[in-house]
Chain A
Amino acid sequence: MVGAGGVRLMQGNEACVEGALAAGLRFFAGYPITPSTEIAELLAERLPQVGGAFIQMEDELASMGAVVGASLAGLKAMTATSGPGFSLKQENIGFAALAEVPCVIVDVQRVGPSTGMPTSPAQGDVMQARWGTHGDHPTVAFTPWSVSETFSLTVTCFNVAEELRTPVILLLDEVIGHMREKVVLPPPEAVTVVDRKKPAVPPGEGYSAYDPGDGDIPPLAAFGDGYRFHVTGLLHDRSGFPTNDPEEAAYLLNRICEKVERRRARLTMIESRDVHGADVVVVAYGCTARPASRAVRMAREAGIRAGLVRLITLWPFPREDVARLTAGARRILVPEMNLGQIVHEVESAVAGRIPVVHLGKVGGVLMTPEEIFEAVKGV
């Protein structure tokens, strides 16, 4: 069944595949790793049906490299992995960020570090998504809380990657990846699909893959189009060739970071409920937002003025929105399945004006509404 809309019961990993195909994915390279493997398995079947390329590479580093190569050859490209593999991919994710190669990386988070707990959920890769590769670089990362949202956010990942010429990370977790829910798949024509900007000039007439002209994102030709351009992981000037010129180097690093920063508002997806007049605002994301949502309802029923902010965009962190939506609160509670990652961003966003309490849980079991409710009562 290729590209058919309609109501389906499916896993988050499956919804990710449907979203990727709807967005125009035509290349996948991956390496088997729990709990992301279904994405590779499904694409091994589906991509050939749409004329796309699937390859299981020899390791995680190779998968990320192949994705960058395929994207430069003109295809929308993706890989999927989990924590250990996400670590291994980091160098080539940095390459994609610096060389401005659109691609999507799915990380279905499991408990870490190291081999950790391969079949259990965690939210421990939030900071790795932001800072996993070395050096200053832009990061765009989204995290869904449902199977249905996994579909739509995967489409968003591709659209943002293509528009901004940058790697985009989809942070799933074991619960969202493996949970089955109802999804209403839109018909293909109802899905908004963005393609990368191609050169406006014909080959031989001054195209450079690294000269943004009047804008801040240069158009990207495909290898084989006749433009004969150079791509490097060295700092490069506007011609695309390596440079040691401090001004050109700084210009490039600033440009690739600012192209994301400048679009922060547009990239921000955030939801809130009952935050006006709330004494306690719970800021949650991904699988933890599900029990958090219930806990806030329980608190309201118990007479506690509680509200919920759900982060969908993690990076760039929506600090202004978090500050605005929590402005009236006396306490902020940040439940997450790690020992403290996004909580620091929340603290930074409210700049000490409101006490921020962290509720961390590790060990591989989803938080319960009761645990979060108790914490809401406690703060």
Chain B
Amino acid sequence: MPHIWCAGCGHGIVMGCLIRAIDRVGLDKNRTVIVSGIGCSSRAPGYMDFDTLHTTHGRALAFATGVKMANPSLNVIVIAGDGDLAAIGGNHLIHAARRNIRIATVCFDNSTYGMTSGQYSPMTPTGKFASTAPYGNIDRPFDLCELAKGAGATYVARGTTYHASLTVNLIAKALEHNGFAFVDVLSQCPTYYGRRNKLGGAVEMMKWYKDNAVPVQAARQSPEPLPPGRFMIGELFTVTAPEYTDEYAGVLERARERETRA
């Protein structure tokens, strides 16, 4: 099938991980809605056979919240890039996390705005180059997983396109999680981010993921903090908390009781 992604782009791998996870968990294709925003990653729903909604820039979680509230029995999945989710849509990310609404959110995190050819995003490391940072990026990036956790997400994980098998597991757990689940998947953009920063092609960029990812168990056993440039992968955080649409079912119940009394 023709698609919009460049040669070497990691997004096809992330989409493949999502599809394998959906298959593993056994979600009903007719009861699953995939919602995306704007950007390279957000074109993925158009390649998948579900009810799919390609929304406006940054707003995927807002549209998805409407879908889920309107019909809580649907499986709702959000796909978004790091610019979409962490910059223009940052408010929706933290509030969806705060509500703990059951939306599995997969961030296709390539540290750049690929669709517009390589401007710096909230995930571009300090010092890296971008078309809008020709002298080096002075912004400090988010730790998106810490952000999601701090905002109230009840399942937080990180994978990479190199660690595809792990990423399938992480997304599968996100899909089964009853609450807001966030999976940050590092995905290489050799065309704009890699080339501008002399990181090599897709293979070299994925090898960098391999060399610098530290499994969460190993990182937590070590008394030393992670050295700069290294990052944790795996299931970073999970906790049980009331899910939003379950809580709303309680609102409906209380409203009915009050009506009956009246």
| Residues of A near any B CB (own CB < 8 A) | 2, 26-27, 29, 45, 48-49, 51, 53, 55, 57-59, 61-75, 77, 91-92, 95, 203, 222-234, 241-242
Residue of A nearest to B98 (CB): A58
Rounded to whole angstroms, the CA-CA distance of A186 and B49 in the bound complex is 45
Residues on A with C-beta less than 8 A from B33 are: 73, 223-224
Docked-complex contact B51 and A224, CB < 8 angstroms:
yes
Flag whether B172 is at the interface (Cβ < 8 A).
Answer: no
Docked-complex contact A66 and B52, CB < 8 angstroms:
no
Residues on B with C-beta less than 8 A from A64 are: 62
Docked-complex contact B95 and A70, CB < 8 angstroms:
no
New A-B pairs, 15, CB < 8 Å, besides A57-B95, A75-B70: A27-B66, A27-B70, A29-B66, A49-B258, A62-B62, A64-B62, A66-B62, A69-B63, A72-B66, A72-B67, A227-B51, A228-B29, A228-B30, A230-B46, A230-B52
Docked-complex contact A230 and B54, CB < 8 angstroms:
yes
Flag whether B59 is at the interface (Cβ < 8 A).
Answer: yes
Docked-complex contact A62 and B54, CB < 8 angstroms:
no
Count contacts between A and B, CB distance < 8 Å: 142
Residues on A with C-beta less than 8 A from B94 are: 58
| Residues of B near any A CB (own CB < 8 A) | 29-31, 33, 35, 45-46, 49-56, 59, 61-71, 73-74, 91-92, 94-95, 248, 251-252, 254-256, 258-259
Known pairs A230-B46, A242-B46; A72 contacts B53 (CB<8 A): yes
Dominant SS among interface residues on chain A: mixed
Determine how close the nearest CB of chain B comes to the CB of A63; give it in whole angstroms. 8
Docked-complex contact B62 and A57, CB < 8 angstroms:
yes
Rounded to whole angstroms, the CA-CA distance of A53 and B71 in the bound complex is 9
Dominant SS among interface residues on chain B: helix
Known pairs A92-B56, A203-B30, A231-B53; A62 contacts B65 (CB<8 A): yes
Chain A CB within 10 A, most for which of B49, B50, B73, B255: B255
Docked-complex contact B66 and A232, CB < 8 angstroms:
no
Residue of B nearest to A29 (CB): B66
Rounded to whole angstroms, the CA-CA distance of A224 and B92 in the bound complex is 24
Known pairs A224-B74, A233-B56; A48 contacts B46 (CB<8 A): no
Residues on B with C-beta less than 8 A from A95 are: 55-56
Some 12 contacts from A to B, beta carbons below 8 A apart, are: A27-B66, A57-B65, A59-B91, A62-B91, A69-B70, A70-B66, A72-B51, A72-B53, A72-B67, A73-B33, A231-B52, A232-B46
